[in-house]
Structure 1
């Protein structure tokens, strides 16, 4: 990723932040995550290389500018929900700690650990949906992205979270069924 492209992406993100009259900081990083909102530091982070890759993963052609504007609105939607994100921090830390203390095999073979993973998915999906609702309101008040592009990118983004949740939920139900069979 060239310096010019990174600077251009920064400018697009900054233009959205300014257009919706917010004061969230923007930071370029190499996290491998296209965009994220850090509610502790109150900033939007972006990985320029991953942003381009993520846009290229869309089935329908969408300009990079529209994609970045939409994702920026989404991250600002998280910023609008910052208090709820902060309130979830103690439980998020508990789940994070559990994941560090147990192997994936242990987590997927113990009902209470897998239940915590399911809870994390449910929290993430709720935060994602709320951020998209907030982003929709921001875009409605300050029209920056055509509605059909916004909706398509939103559905694509939410599908990622939903797919992971459904996989783990299926594993959880499978584990419960195995335990029921052993009790019989």
Structure 2
């Protein structure tokens, strides 16, 4: 299902969805490599036009781009509804970014403090994502943006990407813990 929408049509669709739920969040276009995201510092939704079109084609169950855009938009607005919690996490987020920059790449999987921080970051990301999806579900149920099954399909697919990354790092972390426990028991 290759559906062509122009850049201006995509922007218009996202902006109309924002207006449909009576929220006042700016939209910005940027090539980020991420289909759509919410910048909680600037209180704006950012869309990568090329990436969002490609991401729609990667869904396990095809759907019209218009529908996908509507679901993603209300999801990002779900983050906007949780903006204060995101702002409250900023201090720890900065600490994690600094620690990641300082950690030597080859030592990361064997550095317990680093891996503990990575797991913490994944858990926080998943919690924020789940909250945004819960908020988006409220918006969708109230404003009837898309049908419930379509919403659920995009939600499950989106959350699975976060959980897959978490599970991969958790496997490394748990292996590291087992190795440490084995060494201590010798």
Q: TM-score range by the shorter chain?
A: over 0.9
- CA–CA distance in 1 between the matches of 2:41 and 2:68? 25
Equivalent residue of 1:27, what SS?
A: strand
TM-score (norm 1): 0.96
Equivalent residue of 2:6, what SS?
A: helix
Map of 1:68-79 to 2, 5 A cutoff? Answer: 68-79=69-80
Deviations 1:123-169 (A, max 9, x none): 00000000000000001111111110000000000000000001101
- CA–CA distance in 2 between the matches of 1:59 and 1:139? 21
Equivalent residue of 1:26, what SS?
A: strand
Unaligned runs of 5+ in 1: none
- The question of 1:150 aligning with 2:177 is answered no
Map of 1:110-129 to 2, 5 A cutoff? Answer: 110-129=111-130
Number of aligned residue pairs: give it: 181
- CA–CA distance in 2 between the matches of 1:115 and 1:35? 28
- The question of 1:102 aligning with 2:103 is answered yes
Map of 1:1-184 to 2, 5 A cutoff? Answer: 5-183=6-184, 184=186
- CA–CA distance in 2 between the matches of 1:59 and 1:101? 38
Q: Report the CA distance between 1:25 and its aligned residue.
A: 0.1
4+ residue runs over 6 A deviation: none
TM-score (norm 2): 0.95
Give the root-mean-square deviation of aligned CA atoms: 0.8
- CA–CA distance in 2 between the matches of 1:48 and 1:8? 11
Unaligned runs of 5+ in 2: none
